[in-house]
């Protein structure tokens, strides 16, 4: 039975659609390689995803005694979180809504045999 190491980031201030662009690049890769790849990715979502994977790696080392070189990104998802609704007033007394979307990001690491 493989041990799943989980880490979750709730209410990240980036939309799930934009976060999925970043997490699709690291799915299935080695954890150390994913962190290095995200360090040079030019997207706003790369920083919170990189910190989340680094946190999961630290959890694996500290709580389970696993080596960081044996870990890989088994599963990573970005789901929609509550949307904050802002208002802006437009011309002729009209109302222009602004939707500030956020996301929940979850990563699961596993150890390679």
Across the chain, mean pLDDT equals 95
Burial of 107 (0-12, 13-18, 19+ CB in 10 A): buried
Is residue 113 very low, low, confident or very high in pLDDT (cuts 50, 70, 90)? confident
15-58 pLDDT, tens per residue?
999 999 999 999 999 999 999 999 999 999 999 999 999 999 99
Query: Domains in the chain, please, with CATH?
Result: 5-111 (3.90.470.10)
Residues 84/13/101/72 CA torsion (nearest 10 deg): -140
Q: How many CA atoms lie within 13 A of 45 on its CB side?
A: 23
**pLDDT for 5:** 95
DSSP H helical segments within 1-113, as ranges?
16-26, 31-39, 46-59
| Structural tokens at position 29 | 């890769």
């Amino acid at each position: 039975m493989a041990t799943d190491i989980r880490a979750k980031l709730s209410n990240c201030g980036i939309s799930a659609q934009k976060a999925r662009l970043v997490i699709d690049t690291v799915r299935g890769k080695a954890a150390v390689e994913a962190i290095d790849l995200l360090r040079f990715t030019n997207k706003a979502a790369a920083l919170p995803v990189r910190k989340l994977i680094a946190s999961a790696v630290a959890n694996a080392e500290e709580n389970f005694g696993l080596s960081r070189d044996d870990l890989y990104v088994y599963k990573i998802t970005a789901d929609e979180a509550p949307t904050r609704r802002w208002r802006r007033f437009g011309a002729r007394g009209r109302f222009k809504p602004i939707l500030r979307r956020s996301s929940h990001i979850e990563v699961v690491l596993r150890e390679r045999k």
